[in-house]
Amino acid sequence: MLQINELLELLKQAPDEVFIQPHNVPDPDAIASSFGLQVLLGELGLESVIVYEQDLEKANSLRMLESFDISMRPAGEVETLGAEDWTVLVDVQKENANLTDLVTDEVACIDHHNDNGFDEYRFKDVRPEYGSCSAIIAEYWNEAGLVPPTNVATALLYGIRSDTDGLSRGVHLRDIESYFQLYGHADMSKITELDNNSIHISVLKNYSKAFDTVEVYGQTGFLSLESNDDSLLGSASDILLSVENVDIVIAYAIRDSGLKYSIRSIDRSVSAADLVRHLVKGYGVGGGHDTMAGGFISAEKFPDDRSYGTFSRFRAIEFIEKDITSGRR
């Protein structure tokens, strides 16, 4: 059976409401894929509500909601959320660090991150080779034989573009095929508008301080950011990665709660996900893709004999050097 039909048949059996939940602090791909799925299920006669945890931080994420008329509700404000409700996880998997486990039953999962091994769903569609979750949802529209309305097509296209950094990072042919198809139905003026409103002025000041902390050793760049904004940390690491000769980035933010990592690698012999797992090993959690990954060590678990900066540099260089000497390249 086609994936979309299988999912639809399953969700029709829900004892109560159906929710769609993306990862915490949803980014454009998470928002677009949740929205694209919600509208598709609606066209097929099934109502659902998108719920999320923690704030939308980036200006372009917030603007997406306005621009495409997307309704997403903070989980804490949904009074009807209960154990009888079913949830479809989108752009995330159960037991991941960036997902708050709500009271609902997570019966389905659609994601493009590496499979974390959790298998207790009734429907699972995890495609780690894809650069975006939006491309998977675009294929569901095709499977259903439906053309997404302009706002959905535009949002999905924006999601693909955003997660693949303009069809360059971790991109799969299927992302490009979906992008090409969606392009015919999308409103590109909205994309331009989002591009031109992607950051708040306060962010620029934070960037400025963060770039003052940059240190580069060989092909590896380090950066420290003073902000609680996860997406800002990711964007700052993207910018550092764009620096000439920098192929690996370890960006970290020091917070009261602990140490947050954003990792980038365009060196094929150094997986960002493996690197972050090495950084947090024994103390915290981390994971992601070969090209981009994230991690966290809580303040209580952090070994207090070293500063965050020294700890991060030591562990990162240890991993990258070992990789060289083990003959992986």
Q: Give me the least distance between CB of 198 and Mn ion, in Å please.
A: 17
Is 57 one of the binding residues for Mn ion (CB under 5 A)? no
Q: Give me the least distance between CB of 288 and Mn ion, in Å please.
A: 10
Counting residues that bind Mn ion (by CB under 5 A) gives 4
Pairing relation of β-strands 18-22 and 86-90?
parallel
Instruction: From 55-63, 125-133, 268-276, 301-309, give the range in contact with Mn ion by CB under 5 A.
Output: 125-133
Q: Give me the least distance between CB of 263 and Mn ion, in Å please.
A: 16
Nearer to Mn ion, 151 or 164 (CB): 164
Name which position in 17, 53, 85, 91 contacts Mn ion (CB under 5 A): 91
Residue whose tokens read 């931080």: 57
Contacts with 270 (C-beta within 8 Å, 6 or more apart), sequence order: 247, 248, 319, 320, 323
Is 111 one of the binding residues for Mn ion (CB under 5 A)? no
| C-alpha closest to that of 30 among 188, 285, 230 | 230
Q: Give me the least distance between CB of 182 and Mn ion, in Å please.
A: 16
Q: Show the site string, 12-51: x = touches Mn ion by CB under 5 A, - = not.
A: -----------------x----------------------
| Sign of torsion over alpha carbons 20, 22, 25, 29 | negative
Beta bridge partners of 51: 73
The DSSP secondary structure of 127-142, one letter per residue, reads -TT-S-HHHHHHHHHH
Nearer to Mn ion, 132 or 224 (CB): 132
Q: In the structure encoding, which two tokens stand for residue 58, read together? A: 């980036």
Instruction: From 8-16, 88-96, 233-241, 272-280, give the range in contact with Mn ion by CB under 5 A.
Output: 88-96
Nearer to Mn ion, 4 or 133 (CB): 133
Report the C-alpha gap between 262 and 29 in whole angstroms.
Answer: 17
Nearer to Mn ion, 163 or 323 (CB): 163
Q: How far is CA 205 from each of CA 55, 102, 221, rounded to the nearest angstrom?
A: 20, 35, 20
Contacts with 45 (C-beta within 8 Å, 6 or more apart), sequence order: none
Nearer to Mn ion, 26 or 221 (CB): 26
Using CB under 5 A as the binding rule, the residues of this chain from 139 to 168 that contact Mn ion are 163
| Sign of torsion over alpha carbons 172, 175, 178, 180 | negative
Q: Give me the least distance between CB of 222 and Mn ion, in Å please.
A: 25
Nearer to Mn ion, 102 or 133 (CB): 133
Q: What strands, in cross-sheet order, belong to the sheet with 18-22?
A: 72-74, 49-52, 18-22, 86-90, 105-111, 123-126
CB–CB of 60/198 below 8 Å?
yes
Instruction: From 85-93, 232-240, 265-273, 275-283, give the range in contact with Mn ion by CB under 5 A.
Output: 85-93
Nearer to Mn ion, 44 or 97 (CB): 97
Nearer to Mn ion, 29 or 274 (CB): 29
| C-alpha closest to that of 35 among 148, 127, 131 | 148
Q: Give me the least distance between CB of 204 and Mn ion, in Å please.
A: 25
Name which position in 4, 50, 108, 133 contacts Mn ion (CB under 5 A): 133
Interacting residue ranges for Mn ion, rule: CB under 5 A: 29, 91, 133, 163
